[in-house]
Amino acid sequence: MGVERMKGRTKKQDAPLDLPPSPPRRTGVTRYTPNTGTPALRAAIAAKLTNENRVATTPGDVVVSNGAKQAVWQALLAAVSPGDDVLIPAPYWVSYPEMATLAGANPVILLSDAADGFLLSPATLAAALTPRSRVLILCTPSNPSGAVYDRERLQVCRGMGGGRGGCRAPSVAAMLAPPPPPQQLAAVVASHPRLLVLSDEIYEYITYPPATHISFASLPGMAPRTLTVNGFSKAYAMTGWRLGYLAAPPPFAAAAAAIQSQTTSGASSIAQHAALAALGMGPGGGPLVGAMVDAFRERRDAVTTRLRAIPGVSLPATPGGAFYAMPDVSALVGSGARADGFGEVADGDALCAYLLDAALVALVPGSAFGAPSCVRLSYAASLDTLNEAMDRIERALAPGVYTRPAQ
């Protein structure tokens, strides 16, 4: 019977499958990748950091990971010992405290002021330092607030005057006088030799003039103290490719590589080839990323203008980067605040639940980020969608529908 079936085949069935040649199989692209990343991608990342960020980096300093989240986690595991403190400015990305806890460290939350753009002050950092302090996490531009640390806030200028872009030499009298307290974050870090900085720079390219991104490791004396995390998800809209990296001094890079080798091993070969193409677009991501950032800036301006027009919503500082706004809504919630058909609106969590229920608009409560008086809104959507969302929020908070607390 089998012979009869063979005889009955058509000429088309007899023809061999017309498969295209398979270069990946010939070049090994689809095989397991090296644990720390392909040599080509690590070299490209090192060149990018050296030339764009002014952080001298070798390929051996780079560990390519399955997303920037993995890079943050492995950096913490490489840096902390049980009982160490990890200093986390609020508002913070939701995973930082949990990662610190899982690493056996103590998350220490440092408060910032909305009026100061949610930037950590040097005085707050200095007051929090103890012999247990091991890592300060800085995310700039920030998720969730969009805050961007400028050089004036970061620069090492102990005992010197000076403004944006540098420091003036001290006078003879200043050199003879007792040193004043450090005025910049890097100066505070420098005064505490055990402290490292985990600089999360995943939103690096999404900044809006006059804000500019400064890599913490580029500051004088900070490279040996800095573990830089970045990736491809935000700048290149490559979220699903899951590719990030850590660039760190050799002992920490080696420790992170050892951790990765016993967990996920190397990142996807296909994603790494895509990342090479992304880096090939040029400094800052080239014109395509520039056009994306221009669109985000237009959306930011539209959203922040409308938020500020809502009675009871406060947004003192305009986000300098990323694609989030974090308004203070404390004047909308609390004792006496009620919504028709919903009931009491006691806090930001309840306000978000009400807006989701009544307006079908999803916001994230600030309590998730250590800022319970705020809510987070993402403007990574079209202008039409954002304007519709703002219309719905305004209707849901209109007098007669929403009762604000007594002042």
Q: How far apart are CA 365 and CA 357, in angstroms?
A: 14
Q: Quick one: 214 and 337 in the same domain?
A: no
Tell me the C-alpha to C-alpha distance, in Å, between residue 324 and each of 61, 62, 151, 377.
31, 29, 22, 6
Q: Quick one: 269 and 376 in the same domain?
A: no
19 is a domain residue: no
Q: In CATH, what number is assigned to the domain containing residue 173?
A: 3.40.640.10
Residue 388 host element (H or E): helix 383-396
Is the whole-model pTM more than 0.75? Answer: yes
Q: Quick one: 157 and 249 in the same domain?
A: yes
267 is a domain residue: yes
Q: In CATH, what number is assigned to the domain containing residue 393?
A: 3.90.1150.10
Query: Do the beta carbons of residue 90 and residue 109 sit within 8 Å?
Result: yes
Q: Quick one: 263 and 294 in the same domain?
A: no
Q: Quick one: 275 and 291 in the same domain?
A: no
- Annotate 58-101 with DSSP letters as a single string: -GGGEEEESSHHHHHHHHHHHH--TT-EEEEESS--THHHHHHH
Q: How far apart are CA 335 and CA 398, in angstroms?
A: 18
Q: Quick one: 320 and 370 in the same domain?
A: yes
- Reading the chain (407 residues) residue by residue, the pLDDT tens digits are 443 343 444 444 555 666 666 555 566 677 889 999 999 999 999 999 999 999 999 999 999 999 999 999 999 999 999 999 999 999 999 999 999 999 999 999 999 999 889 999 999 999 999 999 999 999 999 999 999 998 888 875 433 233 323 333 444 444 444 444 445 999 999 999 999 999 999 999 999 999 999 999 999 999 999 999 999 999 999 999 999 999 999 999 999 999 999 999 999 999 999 999 999 999 999 999 999 999 999 999 999 999 999 999 999 999 999 999 999 999 999 999 999 999 999 999 999 999 999 999 999 999 999 999 999 999 999 999 999 999 999 999 999 999 999 86
One-letter amino acid identity for 363?
L
Q: Based on the structure, what is the number of domains in the chain?
A: 2
Tell me the C-alpha to C-alpha distance, in Å, between residue 70 and each of 44, 74, 97.
20, 6, 14
Nearest partner of 203 among 280, 156, 149, 262, judged by Cα: 149
241 is a domain residue: yes
Domain boundary among 229, 264, 280: 280
Q: Quick one: 200 and 220 in the same domain?
A: yes
Q: Which two tokens stand for residue 296?
A: 């985000």
23 is a domain residue: no
2 is a domain residue: no
Domain that holds residue 390: 287-403
DSSP single-letter state for residue 115: G
236 is a domain residue: yes
Q: Quick one: 170 and 226 in the same domain?
A: yes
Q: Quick one: 198 and 97 in the same domain?
A: yes
Q: How far apart are CA 342 and CA 357, in angstroms?
A: 8
Nearest partner of 283 among 204, 218, 349, judged by Cα: 204
7 is a domain residue: no
Domain boundary among 218, 247, 280: 280
25 is a domain residue: no
- Annotate 195-248 with DSSP letters as a single string: -EEEEE-TTTT-B-TT-----GGGSTTTGGGEEEEEESTTTTT-GGG--EEEE-
Q: Quick one: 296 and 357 in the same domain?
A: yes
Q: Quick one: 276 and 297 in the same domain?
A: no
Domain boundary among 261, 280, 299: 280
Q: Quick one: 298 and 276 in the same domain?
A: no
